[in-house]
Structure 1
């Protein structure tokens, strides 16, 4: 039973995720199409039954979906958005069309319209299981309502009812089968990418560990080498003169190697977590200060220039604690900084602001906003998908933001993104409150 329930939850999530870009479009189609076809079936090609009230209900329940992007920014509403979307599909496609077909005595016009509605349902609902559930549930609900209002089925079409049902089932099964085949192909591609990424990450760990160990050893012995050089110079031994600035440069290079190797190690960790679909280990979580995380991230991030560092502003706000990992939170900020700086560097202007706030409902939030080019509306719903990248081919792995969401979810938090093309992109991370556990 638990396995069936989990499969239904996955089906619900997949259906809503793949349809995010179509929600507002479907709402527009319904808001325009319902009154238009009421006029057509009422005045142009009259049908036995038409209801302005029924169509008005369809229009009214579609209106909220026009504001899907705004509604998804509110965590409490976003949780119910997928369920509301599937309710709209059930009500306006199988339920509405099957009921209207029966009320119109299975007229050919409505029989064909129902077939078109079922095909639209197959297209909008990516998962085959949810397509079949919505179709059957909508048809049964339509039949119950038809009986409840005292309907009496008088077949006017030359197509017998069993034949009509068989045609509908064939369309649903065939359409769902093709959708399922597309889903399998997508999963196989993802599995191949996953295996390749996992193998690459494991293979890169060994040389990376060698580089880190070598840099650590050089860093440890560099003061001794400098001291020996100074003693040799004091005793007029024949050693080649080296400027002190060069020693400082050597120290800086070793520090940079150490920083870059740590950052690369974090990237490999992200690759391994994403490729193995592994969950983050919460056993080492503790109470962490968000202000400390932001400060550490800005101190450790390998900015390429002072100009890049000047683009980033720590705008303040109240400090708060959350139950999680400072290391993971720092790497979350690393990912956001890397993406934002890439886009700012392309335009050679803009800025990044990081600040905290507390919402009216008492939820702690961390804001990360850049005034870069923004994200296109058709891309925005997919930015947290694994291995999906909106960057040019070869310049993005598609694991960064997926890892960011995985980490924030492991903290018991939530992340969403708001963006206006040509103006800004803002990530809002919400965290549950965590009491100080006394650790430093």
Structure 2
């Protein structure tokens, strides 16, 4: 029995942690405007309820605390990295204080007035919109309400539940239950859409892999028999048999074209794998990684990238620095560079000026690839979220592509890391750092 209780408790904690992470992820793109609303709204409504439409009770101190809690969200891009893991706990405390605790406390202190009944109802609706997991929602509501009652009693209130409060509780519960059901159904529909999209992509991948496999098998057969055919051609020509003339260069081209076809089929299979990985149903296989040289990857990427014009190509500056090797996949690395080039060229096109500078450097056993563009840059409020899955911005990940979230996943699978620094209106620089061969993991 104790083990069963322990396992159940662990599952509950795991579910709460997951719900908290989901809540933070859903709120992150809006934390800056939410911070503005909190910083401005808390003190502003003090004057509204204290001076314009006086209420029985107001508390400037509590409102300043509320404004202070929201203030750090205005500077989220400048949070030190060591603070970022605390964002989930801070978000939970923000929701707890600003919605169920504050509004329930003010409702009790104002004698269950109509104004605060309506305000508390609005707070409950906002809580349901911001917290879509019913378990976390219930925990916030129960904890915040309990703390509000304790604060009410500690400041001279009576331990008597007013009939008006009891009459309002079913309405609050109705809002929470209905909102949770709606949120659950919306999440279910979204998941079903993702599953359907993956099923379609998997079928398309299968249909594409079949002809690619045929092409690859054909290349294997040609690679095996082509030398014999060319040798037979040379013998026939020397014996004076009537055979069509074939220049030596064409014979070499026949041999090299097999390598190109095989490389293209491998590349196409990698693209299919990346699409499936980006859909979240396929994992990167680190066991297939090999020693990869960064300079070769950059050279291949610059050679194969589909530049739209010669002018666009001339904006690239490849300042070859110290080469380094890491354990990874050349094809995946090339596609990561493709994505960084695409973003950089988009920033330059948006600014109507600038260039892309690429260089490498070594730091002991580690190596770093730099990709810098002098285009529009990234707004500071957007910068913390550029790697978030499904996060969209008018200045990030324009058009089709695997996205920066996938780039981070790939680089991370190599044992490396990707960082970005940007000054809006001036530049954006991505730094990809990799451990040297033998230091992976």
Shorter chain as normaliser: what TM range?
Answer: 0.7 to 0.9
Residue 122 (str. 1) matches residue 125 (str. 2):
no
Cα deviation, residue 215, structure 1: 3.0
Aligned with residue 407 of structure 2, among 399, 404, 408? 404
Give the equivalent residue in structure 2 for 1:189.
Answer: 193
Question: Normalized against structure 1, the TM-score is what?
Answer: 0.78
Q: Which runs of structure 2 are paired with 1:28-43 in the superposition (5 Å)? A: 28-43=36-51
**1:164 aligned onto 2:168:** yes
1:200 corresponds to: 204
Contact between 1:373 and 1:422, CA under 8 Å: does it hold in 2? yes
In 2, Cα distance between equivalents of 1:140 and 1:305: 61
1:278-289 matched pairs, under 5 angstroms: 278-281=282-285
Q: Which runs of 5+ in 2 are unaligned?
A: 1-7
- The answer for the alignment partner of 1:63 in structure 2 is 71
CA contact (8 A) 2:361 2:367 kept: yes
Q: Is the 8 A contact 1:303 1:309 kept in 2?
A: no
Secondary structure, counterpart of 1:62 in structure 2: helix
Structure 1's 411 and 344: CA in aligned 2 closer, same or farther, altered over 3 A? Answer: closer
Q: CA deviation at 1:62?
A: 1.4
In the TM superposition, residue 332 of structure 1 has moved relative to its aligned partner by: 4.2
Work out whether 1:270 is the aligned partner of 2:274.
yes
Q: 2:28 — aligned with what?
A: 20
Q: Distance in 2 between matches of 1:428 and 1:128?
A: 40
Q: Give distance in 2, aligned partners of 1:217 and 1:312.
A: 41
- 1:133-144 matched pairs, under 5 angstroms: 133-144=139-150
TM-superposed deviation, 1:224: 5.3
- What's the CA shift for 1:344? 2.6
Deviations 1:124-150 (A, max 9, x none): 223333222222222122222222333
Cα deviation, residue 78, structure 1 = 2.4
Tell whether 2:255 aligns with 1:254: no
Q: 2:430 & 2:171 partners in 1: Cα distance?
A: 48
**CA deviation map 1:238-264 (0-9, x unaligned):** 433334444455455433322221121
Alpha-carbon distance between aligned partners in 2 of 1:163 and 1:102, rounded to the nearest angstrom: 14
1:273 deviation in Å? 4.0
Report the Cα distance in structure 2 between the residues aligned to 1:249 and 1:371, rounded to whole angstroms: 41
Which of 91, 96, 104 is residue 102 of structure 2 equivalent to?
96
- Cα 1:227–1:372 change in 2 (3 A) is farther
Mean alpha-carbon deviation: is it higher for 111-120 or for 271-280? 271-280
RMSD of the TM alignment (CA)?
4.2
Question: Per the alignment, in what secondary structure is the counterpart of residue 160 of structure 1?
Answer: helix
SS in 1 for 2:156: coil
Secondary structure of 2:46's match? helix
1:386–1:399 contact (8 Å) kept in structure 2: no
**In structure 1, what is the equivalent of residue 5 of structure 2?**
none
- Displacement, 1:84? 1.6
Query: 2: CA distance between counterparts of 1:319 and 1:300?
Result: 16
Distance 2:393 2:233 in 1: 51
Q: CA offset at residue 162 of structure 1?
A: 0.4
Aligned position for 2:338: 337
1:326 equivalenced with 2:328 (yes/no)? yes
* Number of equivalences: 422
Matched, 1:239 2:243: yes
Of the candidates 41, 53, 60, which is equivalent to residue 45 of structure 1? 53
Paired with 1:213 and 1:142, the residues of 2 have a C-alpha distance of 72
Cα distance, 1:241–1:204 mapped onto 2, change above 3 Å:
same
In the alignment, what sits opposite 2:438?
Answer: 436
